[in-house]
């Protein structure tokens, strides 16, 4: 018998709209509104300035180790712009710009993952975003679960989840993609292929020609996108979300981008990559190409940019001050684990509070006793001795 094609799956495509110079393919331009373009550019600025400030705070020891986002902002902000209010965003740990754009307060973001406070990691009311996830790829299990819940509820809302290229080698990635394909879940998974899984090169991460093609094994479509092209990320995410809303199931988007900064503030990337490589990718910077595109269309001026930068600096300064003045309740970790606290956790919390109250009572007693005793000072020929 002759050989024959055995699959009906579509072929893979690569999408790019905005050139590094700021030139655009008019046939693919999504023609965002004036306000959408301004929001997009301001969000890119926010992401860049936020990144610089957080790196400084980490170097000063005022927050914990921080993962820079420089160079990858468009890969998360483009999808955030494309989402509807009811959609859910599930981040890994390099999507802070998208989280801020979608309503996660700066103060909580500082207090959460980098401040160590449970309050900071609890989603604010009305903000459909899960907390930052440190363990690699485990957030995709949660994303699939949320998507399944949305499908069962009959809404047209969907989930946009993020993972790095290194995360595609984790079992959690494969399990989440498999269940998303089997149950046709409204899940859009964006792989931030920033070329490095810490110090492991992309070609050592997988032998696949693209990461997008991994979607085909699970029975749904994939697309590769220029992840430094904010317009392309908007278009690809909108198409994927529309497919999900109409029952077409999940999509895998490979955002080809680059981590211009370190993996984290405890990393030295020059140990494993060259300055020439970094400089070549810096020329493809998503912020500069969007600025060129908007200036060419007289949508954003230098004066507007300067005003936004001043506003952003002030917003961040206020948020940092608020976060650093935060005084947590020692029982706070008990409060953000379950929507309804189970009996065993209630018992643990009660025991903790009782011990805390006992300790505070003993401390107060010691202070009161000390206040009743007034020390006097008597001098001796050889030394000064404090006599109670």
Instruction: Give catalytic residues, as residue numbers.
Output: 259, 263, 272
- Give residue for tokens 């509070």: 353
Angle at 95 between CA 333 and CA 299, to 5 degrees: 135
CA atoms within 13 A on the CB side of 180: 34
- Contact in structure between 240 and 251 (CB atoms under 8 Å): yes
Here the tokens at position 32 are 């965002």
The DSSP annotation for 14-25 comes to: EE--B-TTS-B-
Compute CA 308 distance to the chain's CA centroid, rounded to the nearest angstrom: 22
Spatial contact of 102 and 127, defined as CB atoms under 8 Å apart? yes
**C-alpha to C-alpha distance for 137 and 171, rounded to whole angstroms:** 8
DSSP single-letter state for residue 121 = G
Name the helix (H) or strand (E) containing 222.
strand 221-226
Region of 67 please: left (phi>0), alpha (psi -120 to 50) or beta.
beta
User: In 3D, which of 231, 253, 355, 374 has the Cα closest to residue 299?
Assistant: 231
| The CA-based dihedral angle spanning residues 119, 122, 126, 129, taken in that order and rounded to the nearest 10 degrees | 140
d(CA 50, CA 35): 22
Helix (H, G, I), strand (E, B) or coil at 66: coil
What span, in angstroms and rounded, lies between the C-alpha atoms of 115 and 91? 18
């Amino acid at each position: 018998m002759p050989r024959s094609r055995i699959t009906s799956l579509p072929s893979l495509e690569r999408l790019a709209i905005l050139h590094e110079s700021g030139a655009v393919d008019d046939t693919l331009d999504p023609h965002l509104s004036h306000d959408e373009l301004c929001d997009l550019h301001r969000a890119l600025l926010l992401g860049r300035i936020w990144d610089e400030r957080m790196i400084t705070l980490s170097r000063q020891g005022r927050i914990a180790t921080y993962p820079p986002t420089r160079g990858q902002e468009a890969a998360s902000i483009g999808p955030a712009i494309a989402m509807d209010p009811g959609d859910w965003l599930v981040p890994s740990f390099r999507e802070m710009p998208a989280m801020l754009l979608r309503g996660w307060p700066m103060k909580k973001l500082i207090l959460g993952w980098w401040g160590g406070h449970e309050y900071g990691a609890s989603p604010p009311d009305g903000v459909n975003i899960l907390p930052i996830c440190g363990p690699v790829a485990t957030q995709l299990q949660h994303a699939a679960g949320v998507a399944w819940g949305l499908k069962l509820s009959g809404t047209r809302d969907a989930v946009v989840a993020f993972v790095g290229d290194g995360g595609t080698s984790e079992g959690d990635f494969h399990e989440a993609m498999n269940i998303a394909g089997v149950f046709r879940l409204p899940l859009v998974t964006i792989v931030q292929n920033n070329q490095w899984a810490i110090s492991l090169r992309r070609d050592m991460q997988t032998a696949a020609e693209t990461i997008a093609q991994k979607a085909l094994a699970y029975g749904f479509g994939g697309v590769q996108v220029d992840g430094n092209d904010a317009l392309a990320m908007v278009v690809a995410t909108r198409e994927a979300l529309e497919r999900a809303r109409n029952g077409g199931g999940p999509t895998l988007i490979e955002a080809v981008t680059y981590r211009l900064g370190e993996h984290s503030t405890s990393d030295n990337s020059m140990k494993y990559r060259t300055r020439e490589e970094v400089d070549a990718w810096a020329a493809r910077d998503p912020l500069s190409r969007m600025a060129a595109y908007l200036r060419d269309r007289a949508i954003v001026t230098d004066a507007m940019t300067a005003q936004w930068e001043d506003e952003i600096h002030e917003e961040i300064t206020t948020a940092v001050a608020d976060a650093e003045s935060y005084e947590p309740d020692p029982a706070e970790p008990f409060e953000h684990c379950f929507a309804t606290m189970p009996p065993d956790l209630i018992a643990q919390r009660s025991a903790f509070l009782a011990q805390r109250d006992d300790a505070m009572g003993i401390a107060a007693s010691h202070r009161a006793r000390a206040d009743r005793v007034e020390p006097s000072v008597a001098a001796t020929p050889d030394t000064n001795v404090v006599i109670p």
